[in-house]
């Protein structure tokens, strides 16, 4: 049986993939799906897709778009999470600052360059009318690295999904001083180079099965909330709020208008040099 390797960050957004592969739901297609966690976020997933280590990855929309515009050979298959992402703006719980405006000139902990945490740092800076320097970015590899870096003041600000980091705020490791929301659907399923040229029909079928599990999770909120609490350490209140916010598509699609707007926004922020047609992304 063919094996299809999927990767994503260890967050509840990926529950549809986890539930479907755990139940061997893809066997009728002659495919076994595996799922691997990537703590380094979208940048690490793009690298793994480029290297052929994984076949599909659930990447942040802005990160996938930027990677392709900058020359990556991966391609976007379809929207995976249709709702925007709520990024928490975190600092060390021991830090003196209490408001975002007090963070001008501070260093950002990012998972890696090209990741959502870096791109959204530029979005935040744009909103605050800050000018960022390269020296203001500290690569920490993900949440665990930020947990180490912020208390030691190696970096000062960390942007990450606010419900995922909620346990760290409650533990007194981080302090959340604000939020920033993406103005576009948060995740796309991306494919390794060449996969959609040879196996698009198979990937279409796999994604449709996975989205069926997403619909089941949304239709049984109480069971899904318990699952989130058990797997991700969220409080029941946060799990309920997260589930109320998230929207998985009912079927696979690509929104060229949305992707065009993401390309334009990344160009405005100086993250890409030359815009490309959205059709070059998929």
* Helix ranges, 114-250 (H): 116-128, 143-149, 166-170, 195-219, 221-232, 236-245
Whole-number pLDDT of residue 77: 98
Report the alpha-carbon distance of residue 244 to residue 225 in Å, rounded.
10
13 and 78 inside one domain: yes
- Average pLDDT, integer, range 12-27: 96
Residue 7 sits in the same domain as residue 130: no
Best CA proximity match to 228, nearest among 5, 19, 7: 19
pLDDT tens figures, 167-219: 999 999 999 999 999 888 999 999 999 999 999 999 999 999 999 999 999 99
Task: Determine the pLDDT at residue 126.
Answer: 92
Are 161 and 241 part of one and the same domain? no
pLDDT of 223 above 90: yes
The 3-state DSSP class for residue 225 equals helix
Q: What pLDDT sits at residue 39?
A: 87
- Residue 245: pLDDT band with limits 50, 70, 90: very high
What is the C-alpha to C-alpha distance for residues 159 and 128, in angstroms, rounded to an integer? 15
Per-residue pLDDT tens for 134-179?
A: 999 999 999 999 999 999 999 999 999 999 999 999 999 999 999 9
In this structure, the answer to whether residues 139 and 216 fall within a common structural domain is no
Do 72 and 192 lie in a common domain? yes
Chosen domain end from 181, 201, 230:
181
12-21, 42-51, 261-270: lowest mean pLDDT where?
A: 261-270
Same domain, residue pair 253 and 196 = yes
Residues 47 and 94 in one domain: no
Same domain, yes or no: 197 and 176: no
What confidence tens digit (pLDDT) does each residue in 52-88 have?
999 999 999 999 999 999 999 999 999 999 999 999 9
Residue 115 pLDDT exceeds 90: no
Question: Are 177 and 197 members of one domain?
Answer: no
Whole-prediction pTM = 0.89
Cβ contact 97:91 at 8 Å: yes
Within 10 angstroms of residue 25's Cβ, the number of other Cβ atoms is: 17
pLDDT at 1: 84
- CATH number of 148's domain: 3.40.190.10
What is the mean predicted confidence (pLDDT) over 226-233?
Answer: 95
Q: What is the mean pLDDT of residues 91-99?
A: 96
One domain for residues 157 and 212: no
pLDDT at 4: 97
Q: Are residues 153 and 269 in the same domain?
A: no
pLDDT of residue 171: 95
Per-residue pLDDT tens digits for 255-270 = 999 999 999 999 988 8
> 181, 199, 229 — which closes off a domain?
181
Alpha-carbon distance values, 260 to 56, 78, 94, 268 (Å): 22, 14, 41, 12
Say how many domains are in the chain.
2
Domain endpoint, select from 147, 181, 215: 181
Range of the domain at 249: 2-84+185-281
pLDDT more than 90, % of the chain? 91
């Amino acid at each position: 049986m063919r094996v299809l390797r999927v990767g994503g960050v260890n967050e509840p957004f990926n529950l549809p993939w986890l539930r479907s592969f755990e139940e061997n739901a893809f066997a009728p297609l002659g495919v076994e799906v595996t799922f691997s966690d990537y703590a380094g976020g979208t940048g690490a997933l793009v690298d793994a897709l480029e290297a052929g280590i994984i076949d599909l990855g659930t990447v942040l929309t802005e990160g996938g778009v930027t990677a392709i515009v900058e020359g990556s050979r991966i391609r976007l298959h379809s929207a995976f999470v249709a709702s925007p992402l709520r990024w928490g703006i975190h600092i060390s719980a021991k830090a003196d600052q209490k408001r975002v405006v007090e963070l001008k000139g501070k260093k950002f902990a990012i998972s890696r360059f090209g990741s959502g945490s870096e791109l959204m740092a530029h979005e935040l800076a744009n909103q605050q009318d800050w000018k960022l320097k390269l020296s203001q970015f500290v690569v920490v590899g993900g949440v665990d690295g930020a947990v180490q870096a912020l208390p030691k003041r190696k970096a000062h600000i960390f942007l990450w999904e606010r419900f995922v980091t909620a346990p760290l705020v409650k533990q007194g490791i981080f302090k959340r001083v604000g939020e920033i929301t993406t103005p576009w659907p948060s995740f796309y399923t991306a494919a390794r180079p060449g996969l959609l040229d040879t196996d698009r029909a198979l990937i279409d079928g796999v994604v449709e099965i996975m989205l069926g599990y997403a619909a089941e999770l949304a239709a049984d909120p109480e069971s899904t909330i318990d699952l989130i609490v058990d797997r991700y350490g969220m409080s029941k209140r946060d799990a309920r709020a997260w589930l109320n916010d998230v929207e998985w598509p009912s079927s696979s699609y690509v929104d060229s208008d949305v992707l065009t707007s993401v390309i334009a926004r990344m160009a405005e922020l100086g993250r890409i040099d030359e815009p490309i047609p959205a059709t070059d992304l998929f």
